Structure 1
């Protein structure tokens, strides 16, 4: 089976309420050594996320800098103007709202990017990359928080033993290949690198198998030493 988010997530999650003041949010981040924290409502549903970047944004626009004659870079001034033009209601995540915000609800990015515990870790990786975040709140079907998964948590899939990886390949890839005979295929794994050897009937089958093996969690690479009896590719 593919490794699921629930298998690698951290279950002990620190969160803050919508009314939590700026300084308390900062203290939580520092005390826990995390870069972001979920914001939850009275029923423990995730309504947003406050990150270090959200807090630092407020510092970036302190009026004292303007009184001292400091002029922020053009890119910063433009972001500030855009935030004032489209900041919207509290909790929307607009730059202007965050600069003026004093509570978690005003500072947070909302809606939060969340994931279910049953999701595959590869999907979590894609979500983090797509949204540029380092951690995702893990929620149940009602949006209530169950854990948090970070990039560091996702790296755990690469710590699977070679024996565990080989066992999964034989059970879930080779033994479930009803479309082709894999009885003569041998699997060895060293440091996450899988070597496929042996023979298959058709050359086209040898092209499909390495791709299926590479999708197994913890596989770093695949060395294809498979031979074939019939070249149906160049026929």
Structure 2
């Protein structure tokens, strides 16, 4: 990662199937089944992303079919499901669509997904053209980094920068993404910062800090002048 925060462009799926606004209901269902996806971006005639159709947008149709007329001819169970009669992607889609740019950090993309509850985000350029799709599983790819790569980043981006000439006194070990820092350092005030920065390295699962301050010198003690005076006779 060269010391930079990982971005959506690093992990997104580039081969994406999309719909036109006029795509029919059955074609949408068929496409989802064929591509094993639960949502599809919708493009306008110019190729820009204008919405997303998900399985949740299709379900009201099923709710309608099972609702049936009530005892007085009213349709039951249709309150709040205006998409029940929709038949095309343009009518079914959720809009405005939530998108991210290719240079959006994975951390920001994860926060957007958590806040909005969506499972995937279309990735668009500045003009709104589709560049890819990033999903929750894509965001987790970063945790598949090799331990050796993570350790190298921690040594270069954290240890070397914080401790400079004394960096060789800090040892970095990584096991299944868990970083362990050991050794002695002169400035113990830097320990919390070292842990914070190491935790931010892409792929790090946790940080265990066993750093210690400089050893005590047994040849240095408290000088007491009265201790040098001879005891009274």
Displacement of 1:203 in angstroms is: 2.3
Give the Cα separation in 2 of the matches to 1:120 and 1:225: 30
The one of 58, 66, 76 aligned to 1:55: 58
Give the Cα separation in 1 of the matches to 2:184 and 2:44: 58
Q: 1:117 touches 1:140 (CA, 8 Å); kept in 2?
A: yes
Give the Cα separation in 1 of the matches to 2:190 and 2:68: 68
Q: 1:206 touches 1:228 (CA, 8 Å); kept in 2?
A: no
Q: Does 1:211 align with 2:189?
A: no
Give the Cα separation in 1 of the matches to 2:19 and 2:120: 16
Q: Does 1:10 align with 2:13?
A: yes
| RMSD of Structure 2 on Structure 1 (CA) | 2.2
TM-score scaled to structure 2, two decimals?
A: 0.82
The equivalent of 2:137 in structure 1 is 152
The equivalent of 1:86 in structure 2 is none
**Alignment gaps of 5+ in structure 1:** 70-75, 84-94, 231-235
Give the Cα separation in 1 of the matches to 2:181 and 2:84: 56
Superposed structure 1 runs of 4+ greater than 6 Å apart: none
- Taking the TM superposition and a 5 Å limit, the aligned residue runs for 1:156-235 are 156-177=141-162, 182-229=167-214
Closer/same/farther in 2, CA of residues 181 and 143 from structure 1, 3 Å limit: farther
Displacement of 1:2 in angstroms is: 1.8
Closer/same/farther in 2, CA of residues 181 and 118 from structure 1, 3 Å limit: farther
Q: Does 1:143 align with 2:128?
A: yes
The equivalent of 2:230 in structure 1 is none
The one of 87, 94, 112 aligned to 1:109: 94
Q: 1:17 touches 1:104 (CA, 8 Å); kept in 2?
A: yes
Give the Cα separation in 1 of the matches to 2:206 and 2:151: 13
The equivalent of 2:116 in structure 1 is 131
Q: Does 1:37 align with 2:22?
A: no
Q: 2:162 touches 2:190 (CA, 8 Å); kept in 1?
A: no
Give the Cα separation in 2 of the matches to 1:25 and 1:185: 56
Displacement of 1:68 in angstroms is: 7.5
Displacement of 1:179 in angstroms is: 9.2
Q: Deviations over 1:153-178 (max 9, x none)?
A: 11211110001111111222233338
The one of 62, 67, 70 aligned to 2:69: 67
Displacement of 1:112 in angstroms is: 1.1
Give the Cα separation in 2 of the matches to 1:177 and 1:227: 15
Give the Cα separation in 2 of the matches to 1:166 and 1:40: 43
Q: 2:169 touches 2:184 (CA, 8 Å); kept in 1?
A: yes
The equivalent of 1:88 in structure 2 is none
SS at match of 2:162: coil
